Structure 1
Amino acid sequence: MTRHAIRLFALATCLLAAPAAMAQDTDIGENVMVELNTVKTGDNACALTFLVINGHAKPIEKAVYETVLFNAEGQVDRLTLFDFGTLPPGRPRVRQFSVPGLTCDNLSRVLINGAHACTAPELDDTACSTGLEVNSRTEIEVIG
């Protein structure tokens, strides 16, 4: 097994164990929870890794959030759309977004500005936004 494959296996093992435990310990109700889990600068980009959990009893087929990134001075750096894709009920999912031209140390805050798109035929139209819970396990503040 290559070093890269070993790292991927170790990461997958941790991600499978930790989010499941977190999902059991966190009562998010019938809401969506978005957590900024890690950030990593590389190749002239900042990679933001999110843990997301759909607390509804039914699936969300597509969740796209308008996201505002603030620089170290607290000024808006950019608005972007993060497509979290399909969110099955009660199952943690990890999504990673690479933001070109941004270093993570120049990122101070992330604002989840609202749901740009939310496709959930069996749920209310506001399933992705009403009661949205946000948090961060990094030094970067997440608000919404």
Structure 2
Amino acid sequence: MSFPFSVRLAAVCLALSAFAPALIAPRPALAQDTQVTATSSDATSTDAASSDAVPSEAARPALALALNSLAPSGEACRLSFVVRNDMGAEIEDLGLELAVFGSDGGLSQLLRFSFGMLLEGKTRVKQFDLAETPCEEIGRVLVNDVVRCEGGELTALACLRALSARSDADIAFGL
């Protein structure tokens, strides 16, 4: 007499269920496992206490600059920037040299702007008018250099290395 497949499958499952507790029970940790865990734990605490540890992304100095918008202002074009200081110190004076390229790709102007004092952890908006420059004639803006970054132990080079740039406007903006 042959039983249908489903009945045979149920019988096999019932027979295996007697072994299930042993199959799913947690295995005791081996001495080698414990040793590896202790070693990695020790290494982590040593790294955290070491002054040579590489800082996390959140702890790295950062100076974020965004070109927010371009808007006509009389016969000038008003550039609006949003800047955030996460350098770990107050910036007493930030000066940037910006290169403005025309819509034809040629260099139009090389200008220096003072962003003034930037408190640590603070976001600030600054606006600058480019006299006798229609906004539609601006094709791209480039941060050419950090000419001043004063405050605490900060240097222009440190600020340049930490600087990131993005455009929220309809033109290219970068480093």
Tell me if both proteins adopt one fold, taking TM over 0.5 as the criterion. yes
* Aligned residue in 2 for 1:35: 66
1:64 to 2:95 alignment = yes
Q: Secondary structure at the match of 2:166?
A: strand
Does the 8 Å CA contact 1:66/1:79 hold for their aligned counterparts?
A: yes
1:78 to 2:109 alignment = yes
The alpha carbon displacement at 1:125 in A equals: 4.8
User: 1:25-61 deviations in whole A, cap 9, x for unaligned?
Assistant: xx69412111001110121100000000011121010
More helix per residue: 2
1:90 to 2:124 alignment = no
More strand per residue: 1
Matched residues in 2 for 1:28 and 1:96: separation?
29
Structure 1: segments with no counterpart, 5+ residues: 1-26
Structure 2: segments with no counterpart, 5+ residues: 1-57
* Aligned residue in 2 for 1:16: none
| Aligned Cα root-mean-square deviation (Å) | 1.5
Q: Secondary structure at the match of 2:122?
A: coil
User: 1:50-100 deviations in whole A, cap 9, x for unaligned?
Assistant: 000011121010000000000100100010001111111111000000010
- TM-score w.r.t. the length of structure 1 is 0.77
Matched residues in 2 for 1:35 and 1:139: separation?
12
**Residue type matched to 1:32 in 2?**
L
1:102 to 2:125 alignment = no
Greater mean deviation of Cα atoms: 116-125 or 44-53: 116-125
Does the 8 Å CA contact 1:28/1:133 hold for their aligned counterparts?
A: no
Structure 1 segments of 4 or more deviating over 3 A? Answer: none
* Aligned residue in 2 for 1:122: 153
Aligned length: 118
- Calculate percent identity across the aligned residue pairs: 31
1:44 to 2:75 alignment = yes
Matched residues in 1 for 2:74 and 2:161: separation?
36
- TM-score w.r.t. the length of structure 2 is 0.64
* Aligned residue in 1 for 2:172: 141
Matched residues in 2 for 1:83 and 1:105: separation?
24
Matched residues in 1 for 2:138 and 2:73: separation?
14
